[in-house]
Structure 1
Amino acid sequence: MTEPPAHRVPPPVELLPAFVNTYDVDLAEPEQLPDPAALTAWLRSQGLIADGTPPAADDDVALAHELRAGLRQAMRQHHDGDLTTVVPELERAAARLPLRVIFTGTAPSLAPAGTGVTAALAALVAAVATAEAEGSWQRLKLCAAEDCEWAFLDSSKNRSRHWCSMGSCGNRQKTRAYRARLKAADRMDG
């Protein structure tokens, strides 16, 4: 029996950026998960909790924010290839979440232990392990534009994409760099 579409969890390459993008530096009010009701609604919209699941508490919101901050930092590091630096927020948040190892199929995998909001947050950590096993974790990055920082999947062949969109952030950054070079050249001539 398959799960109804409303409760199907997106694959890690969609779920993790969606969670990270609940903090959007481009908006006047960047925080999209400010309270337990918003966190509960978002987890439900992603199929991570079912209708009737007890709502999130203030502690869950704080844990979600810490987890998201850690994921943002990890995705930021994917640009540099600096994968050895520990991300303290991610470590702390993951240590507080109920996870278990499942030994079915061809390879062991992580899964949330239990139910409810903390198990839903644990599913996000399990999604990191799944993304790594699938080879997509290091392709999840933050846009290099400081006024954007949107999480995205780098689908370029050589994993060198820096911006969420070349059409907006990429062009804007290249235009700024070009203008800075012109200004520097004018100062040297003048």
Structure 2
Amino acid sequence: MHTDATLVVDFLNTVDIERGEDLLDDPGLWQRWSAQRGVSPGNADEARAIRDALRAAAGDPRLPVDQLEVPLTFSLNSQGPQLLGTTAVSAVLVAATRLAIRGDWVRLKICPADDCLEAFYDESRNRSRTWCSMRVCGNREKARTWRARATGVHN
């Protein structure tokens, strides 16, 4: 997976729906997460708002899609133009912007399983992957559908 996609997916998954845990609720964990990625943590409330907005834009059905405007820093040097991000939030927004510019934002998806909702990056050739894991969520949904058909229950 591309570095930008990894950063964005990791950030989107700082909330674990299945376990009911949010890394941003623990300042120590948020600082460690940021330090591991070489950025400063910044404000956790701002990070939560941006994470929720990005998750909504990627397809999280629990969250409303709202317009979000955040200033980013642009630099022009001998290597050419660059977007700069020094805090965790700005680094994630820079990575998300690069994904959008390359046309890869559509590969960021949220697993549709109600008890999962994990973000993932669809690396399939035709961008048709639905589940975060076919072995776990996809298999559960197939089994649920099969049981419903077998018992005559229709959705």
Q: Does 1:62 align with 2:49?
A: no
Which residue number in structure 2 is paired with residue 87 of structure 1?
A: 65
Whole-angstrom CA distance in 2 between matches of 1:75 and 1:16: 11
Whole-angstrom CA distance in 2 between matches of 1:128 and 1:41: 21
- Number of positions where the alignment pairs a residue of Structure 1 with one of Structure 2: 151
Letter in 2 for 1:127: A
Displacement after TM superposition at 1:107 (Å): 7.1
Which structure 2 segments of 5+ residues have no match?
none
Displacement after TM superposition at 1:138 (Å): 1.1
Q: Which has the higher strand share?
A: 2
Corresponding residue SS for 1:141? strand
Is the 1:23–1:32 contact (alpha carbons within 8 Å) kept by the matching residues of 2?
yes
Is the 2:16–2:118 contact (alpha carbons within 8 Å) kept by the matching residues of 1?
yes
Q: Which runs of 4+ in 1 moved over 4 A?
A: 104-109
Whole-angstrom CA distance in 1 between matches of 2:78 and 2:101: 13
Whole-angstrom CA distance in 2 between matches of 1:99 and 1:62: 18
Whole-angstrom CA distance in 1 between matches of 2:112 and 2:141: 9
Q: Does 1:31 align with 2:4?
A: no
Quickly say closer, same or farther: Cα 1:107–1:128, change in 2 above 3 A.
Answer: farther
1:166-189 CA distances to partner (integer Å, 9 max, x unpaired)?
A: 01110101111121222336x9xx
Whole-angstrom CA distance in 2 between matches of 1:135 and 1:105: 26
Identity value in percent: 37
Instruction: Tell me the TM-score normalised to structure 1 length.
Output: 0.69
Root-mean-square deviation over aligned CA pairs:
2.7
Which residue number in structure 1 is paired with residue 117 of structure 2?
A: 149
Displacement after TM superposition at 1:42 (Å): 1.1
Given candidates 4, 13, 25, the residue that maps to 2:5 is 13
Displacement after TM superposition at 1:68 (Å): 0.8
Which residue number in structure 1 is paired with residue 35 of structure 2?
A: 44
Q: Does 1:131 align with 2:67?
A: no
